[in-house]
Every structure is written in C-alpha cells, then in structure tokens.
C-alpha cells in the first residue's frame, strides 16, 4: 500500500506537472492509497479520482500590458536598468555573438571568392584573437589592407 505522497508523485510525473498541482478526491482517498503502480494511478486519473489543478489565470491587466510593451522592446531605457552592462548580458555571450557574426561573414566572402583561403585563415585567427570590434571593422580592415579581390566584386 503506497502513501498519498507517493501517489501524488506518480500522478505528477504522469500528468507532467508539479506535486502541488495534483488534486485527489477527498472522498476516495482510501482508493488512492491502494494504488501501487503507475498503471493504477493512470486508472484513477481516468476515473477522475486524481486530477491536475487548473492554473490560476492572470489577474493583472497592467502586468499584461507591461509584458506586451517589453515584448515590443520598450521599457529598456537607462532608467529601467539595474545591473551593469556586464551583469545584464555576460561578456562571453557578447563575444560569442560578435565572433560568430564575423566568422559567418568571412565564410561567405571566401565562398564567393572575394578572399582567398590564406586570407581567410589569417583573418579567422585574428577574429579569434579579438582583433575586430564588429563586422564593419573587419570589412574596413580588409579594404585598407587590400585583401579583397577586385574581380569578385
């Protein structure tokens, strides 16, 4: 004979929710306690002895409005910021985004034949070393050092 706690745990895993969201009919607790296997619990769910509590609806129209505005990209000005730039988005995340964009760019340039394999490799390593601030910076470097092939343009 399983405890009610164990039955709730089984029901929670079957219904894919938390243990606190499980409701057991108070009049049929003895029947629920007799359940041992997952199959027993499944049968009780089908009977309606065990149910998943409905999620509480949002009761804050203002919060909903605020969320909508945030989704649009509003409410992100300096007055709304609490942490430093590094706290809001880690340096690593920023670096990864920048590096991946630059690597994509040189790959496209190589495939189009705008830069050759040697240049690609050299620039790739420079990107890895953090030589460029942005894609624009990378392109200006390529132009200044005349590494772009003119006929491919």
pLDDT of res. 56: 79
Closest alpha carbon to 15 in 42, 36, 35, 39: 42
Is the model's pTM score more than 0.85?
no
pLDDT higher than threshold 90 for residue 45: yes
- Domain residue ranges of the chain, discontinuous segments joined by +: 4-52, 89-144
Strand partners, 51: 23
pLDDT higher than threshold 60 for residue 151: no
pLDDT higher than threshold 80 for residue 1: no
The architecture in CATH of the region 4-52 reads: Orthogonal Bundle (1.10)
Query: Are the folds of 4-52 and 89-144 the same?
Result: no
Q: Confirm or reject CATH 2.40.50.140 for domain 89-144, answering yes or no.
A: no
Say which residues have a Cβ less than 8 Å from residue 43's Cβ, sequence separation at least 6: 35
Strand partners, 22: 52
* pLDDT, tens digit (0-9, with 9 covering 90-100), for 120-134: 999 999 999 999 999
* pLDDT, tens digit (0-9, with 9 covering 90-100), for 46-87: 999 999 998 877 788 998 999 999 999 999 999 999 999 899
* pLDDT, tens digit (0-9, with 9 covering 90-100), for 6-34: 999 999 999 999 999 999 999 989 888 88
């Amino acid at each position: 004979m399983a405890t009610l706690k164990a039955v709730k745990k089984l029901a929670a895993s079957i219904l894919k929710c938390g243990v606190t969201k499980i409701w057991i009919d108070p009049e049929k607790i003895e029947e629920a306690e007799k359940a041992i296997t997952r199959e027993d619990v499944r049968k009780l769910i089908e009977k309606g002895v065990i149910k998943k509590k409905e999620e509480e609806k949002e009761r804050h129209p203002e919060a909903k409005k605020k969320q909508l505005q945030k989704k649009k990209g509003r409410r992100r000005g300096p007055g709304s910021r609490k942490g430093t730039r590094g706290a809001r988005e880690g340096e690593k995340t920023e670096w990864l985004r920048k590096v991946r964009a630059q690597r994509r760019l040189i790959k496209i340039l190589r495939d189009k034949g705008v830069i050759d394999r040697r240049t690609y490799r050299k620039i790739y390593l420079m990107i890895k070393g953090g030589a460029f601030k942005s894609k624009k910076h990378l392109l200006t470097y390529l132009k200044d050092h005349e590494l772009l092939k003119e006929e491919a343009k």
